[in-house]
Amino acid sequence: MKKAEVKNNSFNKYPFIEVSGDVVCGWEEIKTSLFDGRNITITVDCYQGVFIEEIEKALGSQALFVRTEEFFKPEEEILSLTQRDVTDDEVFGVITHLKMKDFLDEKKVEAVKEKLSGKSENIIVCGPGASLFLENPDVRVYADMARWEIQKRMKNGLVNGLGVVNNSEPFNHQYKRGFFVDWKVCDRHKKEWFSHCDYLLDTNNSDSPKLVEMSVIGNGLRRAARRPFSVVPFFDPGVWGGHWMEQKLDLENKEAPNHAWCFNCIPEENSILFKIDGKLIELPSVDLVFFESVSLLGDAVEARFGKEFPIRFDFLDTMGGGNLSLQVHPDTTYIQENFGMHYTQDESYYLLDAGDSGTVYLGLKEDADVDKMFTGLVKAQEEGDPFDAEEYVNTYPAKKHDHFLIPAGTIHCSGKDSMVLEISSTPYIFTFKMWDWGRLGLDGKPRPINIGHAQNVVNAERRSRFVEKELINRFEVVKEGEGWMEEKTGLHEREFIETRRHWFSEPVLHEANGSVNVLMLVDGEEAVVESPESLFEPFVVHYAEAFIVPASVKSYTISPCGSSQGKRIATIKAYVRI
């Protein structure tokens, strides 16, 4: 096997996987390819958020065009049907058990199915649930879309919810309906029909649609699940955001006021890119979790979590910014009973970098009066009184390579002047904000505070002595050899994720041990991931890039390369304890 070629040492913002196949680009070419001078029936299934009118404009002149949204139940009925899941809470709902058929008017659907069965002209049925309208269409298409693109369209008021008109509502209301209802319904439908489709239609860029045979996409997913890869990182501003990522990662969006977040390994949020025929095809990376779950996650992890990716890596940048909100996450019982989630957001802060005033807030002070604290928080929220968080919550200086463990129920937040790699389990929306330092959001409106939920889940035993004994820099050398050392860094025994840090100047052998591995180069400029059995091409990673090694890989080596050749560098790795 050839050695890896190192082209540069820059952060890769658009990682891709090469896949053999053909791509049809542009609506005219897609129309020609699909119809090919014949009379056919086509279903185009999709998520809510895909521009149906764009597809109708491009293809509708060739066929009788049927939009599935016309056969949904009345909006008032759907609002009533989903109210239990959407709830009246500003932020949180309950994971729905509904399916696509629950949104459709059965009588209308049966009537249109009977009507279409007698037609001899070209027919296109397009929209969420399209696969339920024609039993044996000539061609099935799935118009896929990245979750972040749907969210951007929500923010611009361009799309509505599943069967409801809500594009004028605040973004957090649209997101809540999407997260708890619409995306879950569309996910279930996708799992059932995706593999039956003949083509995938990439609709992320409305100006340049791309059509690919589904067999090619299937090959790409299988290839990704058997080699190291990275998903596409997404950067977002925030009221507390900093500027470290702009400077270190050479971000292109100079119009943003800051960069608070980088979602760099959250498959429900991120995309995966396939390079096919020289063209980039973008899919939500959760497709890989849905359709290659055992190869990706490992048999034991898939048995435990189902088709969900349980490990999350993301960045929190407060360098030159401000404190995150003071917050807490629910324990497993609370999240199961109130929100329908299977597991909770245990997490940790690994300090990728820190300034002189870098700080982490973690746990209650030994003598903190919890009742008094919540009384003060309520008054601060309702009456605008000042709240002194440091009267109740510990603050600890944070420096580069520190690791703070945060099991659910522990009050915490990153202070200013810190660059955090957040390593956690995946239910990322369940953060109960207790105090936001009297700030408004970037939209000029107060950010939602969740004191009631927080009061129900704060663990009053997580105080100074516990924190300092159990949660800060629990480093333990577990193995070492010539030119390398492996340290256990956490997480806490209550958390299901194990993390290991390797310092090395020579190649290090890693064993997947039945679990998907998520890693990041946290010190040094470049490293190369290779297969001892030459089962995949060498995979080069750069500083601060998150990457996934599927459980199917079983073993792999990581070595310094390029500008890091011969130098001591470091990775941190997370996997599920089995």
Question: pTM for the complete prediction?
Answer: 0.95
Give me the sign of the Cα torsion angle 18, 21, 25, 31.
negative
CA 157 to CA 81: how far, in whole Å? 24
Q: Please state the length of the chain.
A: 578
How many other CB atoms sit within 10 Å of the CB of residue 531?
19
Characterize 42-60 residue by residue with b for buried, 16 or more Cβ atoms within 10 angstroms of its Cβ, and e for exposed.
bbbbbbbbbbbeebbeebb
Which amino acid is residue 565, in one-letter code? Q
155 by Cβ neighbours in 10 Å (0-12 / 13-18 / 19+) ranks as middle
CATH fold match for the domains 236-470 and 476-576: yes
Q: Where are the domains of the chain?
A: 27-208, 236-470, 476-576
CA 524 to CA 135: how far, in whole Å? 56
CATH 2.60.120.10 applies to domain 236-470: yes
Residue 536 DSSP code: S
CATH 3.40.50.300 applies to domain 27-208: yes
Residue from 54, 44, 197 nearest 129 by CA: 44
Report the largest interatomic distance among the alpha carbons of the chain, rounded to a whole angstrom.
79
CA 1 to CA 531: how far, in whole Å? 10
Edge-to-edge order in the sheet of strand 546-549: 476-481, 484-490, 497-504, 569-576, 517-523, 546-549
Domain 476-576, second-level architecture: Sandwich (2.60)
Kind of pairing, strands 17-19 and 271-276? Answer: parallel
pLDDT in tens, the chain (578 residues): 334 443 334 899 999 999 999 999 999 999 999 998 778 999 999 999 999 999 999 999 889 999 999 999 999 999 999 999 999 999 999 999 999 999 999 999 999 999 998 778 899 999 999 999 998 999 999 999 999 999 999 999 999 999 999 999 999 999 999 999 999 999 999 999 999 999 999 999 988 999 999 999 999 999 999 999 999 999 999 999 999 999 999 887 667 889 999 999 998 889 999 999 999 999 999 999 999 999 999 999 999 999 999 999 999 999 999 999 999 999 999 999 999 999 999 999 999 999 999 999 999 999 999 999 999 999 999 988 899 999 999 999 999 999 999 999 999 999 999 999 999 998 778 999 999 999 988 888 878 899 999 999 999 999 999 999 999 999 999 999 999 999 999 888 888 999 999 999 999 999 999 999 999 999 999 999 999 999 999 999 999 999 999 999 999 999 999 999 999 999 999 999 98
